[in-house]
């Protein structure tokens, strides 16, 4: 196919969230709090098991009271916050203010790192006249992340689930993205890390290609290997 547009997922595709350990450490430092080494390790393990970090490890078990909201968590900002602070509250942290602080931290540009080849691939697409969109299941505005890391100028359109009240794999999100970048879906590639959610782009006629959701250091060239650029 002749590629005229590329849609990218956000988390696990273009960017990777910091580890739970760094996430908790940063928030404790911001609040000038210290805990024992043993308590810190326990909090890290428990928050990881709870799946409290958006974009991080998935919950080992979603509590019954959060199950319905979990299934549609990316359809509204309020629900997204409710779910992830609720997951964190399963862990007995030393300050009740930490739950909201942890949620707020994950929206900070410093909590995210672009994959090593993200700028290269996005820049090459822009240089080649290929339109780029970001289609993400997310409960908050990720545009500041792109701006802070110097990638916003390389993106033509953002389609964020919470702004539309639907989430991937709903084909309407992909159709909207193709419309915004001005391309027929049959000329567009969707790139993501979730075969269920991102695979929904196939329903509108997009080609779909996948990367592995790995730590930044373990995936230096995953985007480059997809054949999007010469």
Residue 79, pLDDT score: 98
Asked whether 227 and 29 are in contact (CB, 8 A), the reply is: no
Residue 158, pLDDT score: 98
Between CA 155 and CA 162 the distance in angstroms is 19
Domain ranges of the chain: 5-16+111-226, 17-110
> Helix, strand or coil for residue 191?
strand
> Helix, strand or coil for residue 14?
coil
User: What topology is assigned to 5-16+111-226 in CATH?
Assistant: Rossmann fold (3.40.50)
Phi-psi map region of 125: left, alpha, beta (phi>0 left; psi -120 to 50 alpha)? alpha
**What percent of the residues of the chain are helix, what percent strand, and what percent coil, each to the nearest 5?**
45, 15, 40
In sequence order, the 6+-apart residues with CB closer than 8 A to the CB of 67 are none
Crossing angle of helices 77-88/98-105, nearest 10°? 120
> Digits of tens for pLDDT over the chain (230 positions)?
999 999 999 999 999 999 999 999 999 999 999 999 999 999 999 999 999 999 999 999 999 999 999 999 999 999 999 999 999 999 999 999 999 999 999 999 999 999 999 999 999 999 999 999 999 999 999 999 999 999 999 999 999 999 999 999 999 999 999 999 999 999 999 999 999 999 999 999 999 999 999 999 999 999 999 999 97
- Going by C-alpha positions, the residue among 21, 96, 81, 25 that lies closest to residue 56 is 21
Residue 198, pLDDT score: 98
Q: How far apart are the first and last CA of the chain?
A: 13
Between CA 55 and CA 11 the distance in angstroms is 6
Residue 230, pLDDT score: 77
């Amino acid at each position: 196919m002749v590629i005229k547009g590329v849609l990218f997922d956000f988390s696990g595709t273009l960017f990777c969230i910091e580890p739970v350990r760094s996430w908790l450490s940063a928030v404790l430092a911001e609040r000038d709090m210290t805990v024992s080494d043993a308590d810190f390790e326990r909090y890290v393990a428990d928050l990881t098991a709870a799946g409290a970090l958006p974009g991080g490890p998935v919950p080992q078990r979603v509590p019954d009271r959060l199950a319905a909201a979990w299934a549609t968590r990316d359809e509204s900002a309020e629900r997204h916050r409710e779910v992830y602070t609720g997951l964190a509250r399963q862990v007995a942290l030393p300050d009740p203010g930490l739950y909201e602080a942890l949620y707020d931290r994950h929206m900070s540009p410093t909590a995210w790192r672009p994959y090593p080849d993200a700028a290269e691939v996005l820049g090459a697409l822009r240089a080649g006249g290929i339109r780029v969109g970001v289609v993400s299941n997310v409960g908050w505005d990720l545009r500041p992340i792109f701006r802070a890391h110097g990638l916003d100028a390389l993106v033509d359109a953002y389609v964020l689930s919470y702004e539309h009240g639907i989430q991937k794999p709903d084909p309407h999100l992909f159709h909207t993205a193709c419309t915004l970048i001005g391309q027929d879906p049959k000329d567009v590639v969707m790139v993501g890390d979730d075969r269920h959610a991102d695979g929904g782009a196939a329903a509108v006629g997009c080609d779909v290609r996948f990367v592995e959701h790995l730590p930044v250091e373990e995936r230096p060239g995953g985007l480059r290997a997809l054949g999007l650029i010469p």
